[in-house]
Chains A and B, each alone.
Chain A
Amino acid sequence: MNRFRIFTSVCVDALAEISKCCVTIENGRIVSLEAIANSGSPQPGDIDGGRSVLMPGFVDIHIHGGAGKYVMDGGEESILEIASHLASHGITGFLPTTVTAPRDEIRSTVEASAQLFHSPDNGKSGAAVLGTHLEGPFINPKKKGAQPEEYIIPPSVDELMAQVGSHLDTIKVMTIAPEIPGALDVIKFLCANDIIASIGHSNASYDEMCLGINAGARHVTHCFNAMRPMEGREPGVVGATLMHKELSAELIWDNIHVHPASCAALINAKGVDGVIFISDGIQAAGMEEGFKFSIGGTQIISKNGAARLADGTLAGSLLTLDRAVANAHILSLKDRAKMSSFNALRALGLSHRKGLIRPGYDADLVLLGANGTVKRTFIGGREIYSADSLVD
């Protein structure tokens, strides 16, 4: 039996913030939490977190790449390299996210992601693959952002099935524009198959948003970015997101894609249970400024803290969720634990075993040092990442 304890000055999850706490982990799961006063001193094999903060591992449900790799490179290897890069930033689970692309490219990415999802080694060398997020190709060309317009196609369940083959059960989120003819039928199909229909890259009016919600859409992709903004007479996608409680909203808190005041406004409107931090990270995340790459033939450069097309259009972020959690310092740690972990896991239907620091839950944990730097990442009780020193 593999058993060890983590001693920490603060242990925070979506339910509580406990100081001076000792968490016992046995065979990959949390078995107890107790006050340090009752647990003696760290023994060999235990981890003395000193002044670090212990949180549930972060979960990123929208990420395209990192460390120079792209989830659509075509194989399991790139996704595994991204997974390992993510673990070094405290992410313990993620959804490899496709972009609008030819059917074969989407399909081979879905297959690679499904292989990893079902593998007994999932989560043993990096963040665990929790499924796949399909961003497009059923989106609105008017709000394409950096998605290649030539591969945007009309929504249909047949086309979706051709993209996913026998792996429908591994698809967890699909980003779709509800105003495009045929989209509502796809949204209904997604709901019937327990896949989150997420509205994004959309120019929907408020009325079109209501039809999408009525069809079963429950989520909004990178709120504020690549969508119709809110105006007094036409609430658009953003207004409907703020208004409708049943929608949870993804948010890229990198202080570039969304102004921090807009982030705060979104959280004020939706409450701390309705917002999910995502990175929307691409290859250049974790690489030096000036890193150049291409997606589907489009040249992209990492410049001024974000990835941009030649014309300056934002093309994904350089963010990792540890930085999002640090950027959101105006919120309590407990609220940040909700938005970086619990809310996403709840949406994925996994919150009964992941996302809280409670007995019975998987030991997917991150230890954070000063300024939110990741010191240790544990996935299923395994130490997957360790910074040189626990002391800052």
Chain B
Amino acid sequence: MNIVISETKQETGSKAAALGAAVIREVLSNRDSANIIVATGASQFEMLDALVREPDIDWSRLTIFHLDEYVGMPESHPASFRKYLRERFINRLPVAPAAFHAIDAEFDPEIECKRLNALLGPLDVAVAFVGIGENGHLAFNDPPADFGTTEPYIVVDLDTECRLQQLGEGWFPSLEDVPTEAISMSIQQILVSEVIICTVPDLRKAKAVQGTVEGPMTPKVPASSMQNHPKTTLFLDKPSASLLKPQ
């Protein structure tokens, strides 16, 4: 894993967006179209804000998937990830993408997984933009994560630590309101992306970052699965990098 540590959250986000944009431009110079994956949550605010302003990307040749969504959640709910992505990313792109495959798990998550797996299964992914949870999760794969499954999308249970993070970020009024299930992209599916850009600002992520980088590769720290990925860059700010050993 490459590690880039910046002074501020803004700088972390714009550096991550700049690398992602460079990879996308490179891929589109060799191919007609490409597929990318984007993530949500408070950690992606600055990165997405910078990414939509990156010049010279022909978004109309890109198909966009995302990492996860709560089960039983309508798009009108403030915490909905597809709402987040439409408002903070898709609707702000200079041109419409080729497609945005929003995850809709409001009614039947199993059928939705089948639909998405048929769409994403056969495709290559050029770039995956991801983050890491306070509990070390990657997408909604909470510890212990399933490192084995090769299904692109799976239905997962959310642990209390993960649900507390969502409460703390202000998406829900109380812990009882945070769903206990979600559809998540699997670890294996994330790892088959050619390039992974992982943006993780904030002190509250310091422990998870430490485990991801310095700990053993273990389902107990799901993001540690990226250790063997050849093209992963971790974008940190000073606080989130504060527990790492000096290099």
Which A residues form the contact surface with B (CB < 8 A)?
14-15, 271-274, 338, 343, 346-347, 349, 351-353, 356, 358, 360
- Contact partner of A346 among B42, B164, B173, CB < 8 A? B173
Any chain A CB within 8 A of the CB of B1? Answer: no
Q: How far is the CB of B185 from chain A (nearest CB, A)?
A: 24
Any chain A CB within 8 A of the CB of B167? Answer: yes
A/B pair count, beta carbons within 8 Å:
34
Task: Please indicate the chain B residues that have their CB under 8 angstroms from the CB of A343 in the complex.
Answer: 173
Across the interface, do A352 and B173 meet the contact criterion of CB distance under 8 Å? no
Across the interface, do B168 and A356 meet the contact criterion of CB distance under 8 Å? yes
Most buried by A among B167, B174, B177: B174
Task: Please indicate the chain B residues that have their CB under 8 angstroms from the CB of A14 in the complex.
Answer: 174
Instruction: Known A358-B164, A360-B204; judge A274-B170 contact (CB<8 A).
Output: no
- Contact partner of B168 among A272, A274, A352, CB < 8 A? A352
The complex places the Cα of A132 from the Cα of B150 at a distance, in Å, of 51
Offer 20 A-B interface pairs, CB within 8 angstroms, sorted by A.
A14-B174, A15-B164, A15-B175, A271-B173, A272-B174, A273-B173, A273-B174, A273-B177, A346-B170, A346-B173, A347-B170, A349-B170, A351-B169, A352-B42, A352-B165, A352-B204, A353-B168, A353-B203, A358-B164, A360-B204
The complex places the Cα of A358 from the Cα of B207 at a distance, in Å, of 14
Within 102-138 of B, Cβ neighbours of A (below 8 Å) are at: 134
Task: Please indicate the chain B residues that have their CB under 8 angstroms from the CB of A351 in the complex.
Answer: 167-170
Task: Please indicate the chain B residues that have their CB under 8 angstroms from the CB of A346 in the complex.
Answer: 170, 173
Task: Please indicate the chain A residues that have their CB under 8 angstroms from the CB of B42 in the complex.
Answer: 352
- Contact partner of A274 among B169, B173, B202, B203, CB < 8 A? B173
The complex places the Cα of A352 from the Cα of B202 at a distance, in Å, of 10
Task: Please indicate the chain A residues that have their CB under 8 angstroms from the CB of B174 in the complex.
Answer: 14, 272-273, 338
- Contact partner of B204 among A15, A272, A274, A353, CB < 8 A? A353
B 123-167 binary contact with A (CB < 8 Å = 1; else 0):
000000000001000000000000000000000000000001101
B 173-210 binary contact with A (CB < 8 Å = 1; else 0):
11101000000000000000000000000111000000
Task: Please indicate the chain B residues that have their CB under 8 angstroms from the CB of A15 in the complex.
Answer: 164, 175
Q: How far is the CB of B53 from chain A (nearest CB, A)?
A: 17
User: How many positions in chain B have a CB within 8 Å of any CB in the partner chain?
Assistant: 15
The complex places the Cα of A347 from the Cα of B174 at a distance, in Å, of 12
Task: Please indicate the chain A residues that have their CB under 8 angstroms from the CB of B134 in the complex.
Answer: 360
Within 28-47 of B, Cβ neighbours of A (below 8 Å) are at: 42
The complex places the Cα of A229 from the Cα of B168 at a distance, in Å, of 34
Across the interface, do A352 and B170 meet the contact criterion of CB distance under 8 Å? yes
Contacts A351-B170, A352-B42 known; list 15 others, CB within 8 Å: A14-B174, A15-B164, A272-B174, A273-B173, A273-B174, A274-B173, A338-B174, A346-B170, A346-B173, A349-B170, A351-B168, A352-B165, A352-B202, A352-B204, A360-B204
The complex places the Cα of A356 from the Cα of B175 at a distance, in Å, of 12
The complex places the Cα of A347 from the Cα of B169 at a distance, in Å, of 10
Q: How far is the CB of B73 from chain A (nearest CB, A)?
A: 16
Q: Which residue from chain B places its CB closest to the CB of A16 in the assembled complex?
A: B175
Q: Which residue from chain A places its CB closest to the CB of B202 in the assembled complex?
A: A352
The complex places the Cα of A273 from the Cα of B170 at a distance, in Å, of 12
The complex places the Cα of A346 from the Cα of B165 at a distance, in Å, of 12
Q: Which residue from chain A places its CB closest to the CB of B168 in the assembled complex?
A: A352
Q: How far is the CB of B203 from chain A (nearest CB, A)?
A: 8
Task: Please indicate the chain A residues that have their CB under 8 angstroms from the CB of B202 in the complex.
Answer: 352
Q: How far is the CB of B78 from chain A (nearest CB, A)?
A: 9
Task: Please indicate the chain B residues that have their CB under 8 angstroms from the CB of A272 in the complex.
Answer: 174
Task: Please indicate the chain A residues that have their CB under 8 angstroms from the CB of B173 in the complex.
Answer: 271, 273-274, 343, 346
The complex places the Cα of A338 from the Cα of B169 at a distance, in Å, of 15
Task: Please indicate the chain B residues that have their CB under 8 angstroms from the CB of A349 in the complex.
Answer: 170
Task: Please indicate the chain B residues that have their CB under 8 angstroms from the CB of A356 in the complex.
Answer: 168
Q: Which residue from chain B places its CB closest to the CB of A353 in the assembled complex?
A: B204
Task: Please indicate the chain B residues that have their CB under 8 angstroms from the CB of A271 in the complex.
Answer: 173
Q: Which residue from chain B places its CB closest to the CB of A352 in the assembled complex?
A: B168
Most buried by B among A271, A346, A351: A346
The complex places the Cα of A358 from the Cα of B165 at a distance, in Å, of 11
7 A-B pairs with least C-beta separation:
A273-B173, A352-B168, A273-B174, A346-B170, A352-B169, A360-B204, A351-B168
Task: Please indicate the chain B residues that have their CB under 8 angstroms from the CB of A274 in the complex.
Answer: 173
The complex places the Cα of A271 from the Cα of B175 at a distance, in Å, of 14
The complex places the Cα of A346 from the Cα of B164 at a distance, in Å, of 13
The complex places the Cα of A361 from the Cα of B167 at a distance, in Å, of 13
Q: Which residue from chain A places its CB closest to the CB of B175 in the assembled complex?
A: A15
The complex places the Cα of A351 from the Cα of B171 at a distance, in Å, of 10
The complex places the Cα of A349 from the Cα of B42 at a distance, in Å, of 11
Q: How far is the CB of B146 from chain A (nearest CB, A)?
A: 27
The complex places the Cα of A224 from the Cα of B132 at a distance, in Å, of 44
The complex places the Cα of A353 from the Cα of B177 at a distance, in Å, of 20
Q: Which residue from chain B places its CB closest to the CB of A346 in the assembled complex?
A: B170
Task: Please indicate the chain A residues that have their CB under 8 angstroms from the CB of B164 in the complex.
Answer: 15, 358
The complex places the Cα of A387 from the Cα of B45 at a distance, in Å, of 43
The complex places the Cα of A346 from the Cα of B134 at a distance, in Å, of 18
Q: How far is the CB of A346 from chain B (nearest CB, A)?
A: 5
The complex places the Cα of A329 from the Cα of B170 at a distance, in Å, of 27
The complex places the Cα of A347 from the Cα of B171 at a distance, in Å, of 10
Task: Please indicate the chain A residues that have their CB under 8 angstroms from the CB of B169 in the complex.
Answer: 351-352
The complex places the Cα of A162 from the Cα of B70 at a distance, in Å, of 43
The complex places the Cα of A343 from the Cα of B175 at a distance, in Å, of 12
Q: How far is the CB of A37 from chain B (nearest CB, A)?
A: 23
The complex places the Cα of A14 from the Cα of B168 at a distance, in Å, of 11
Task: Please indicate the chain A residues that have their CB under 8 angstroms from the CB of B175 in the complex.
Answer: 15
Q: Which residue from chain B places its CB closest to the CB of A245 in the assembled complex?
A: B173
The complex places the Cα of A364 from the Cα of B204 at a distance, in Å, of 16
Q: How far is the CB of B91 from chain A (nearest CB, A)?
A: 14
Task: Please indicate the chain A residues that have their CB under 8 angstroms from the CB of B204 in the complex.
Answer: 352-353, 360
The complex places the Cα of A352 from the Cα of B133 at a distance, in Å, of 12
Most buried by B among A15, A351, A352: A352
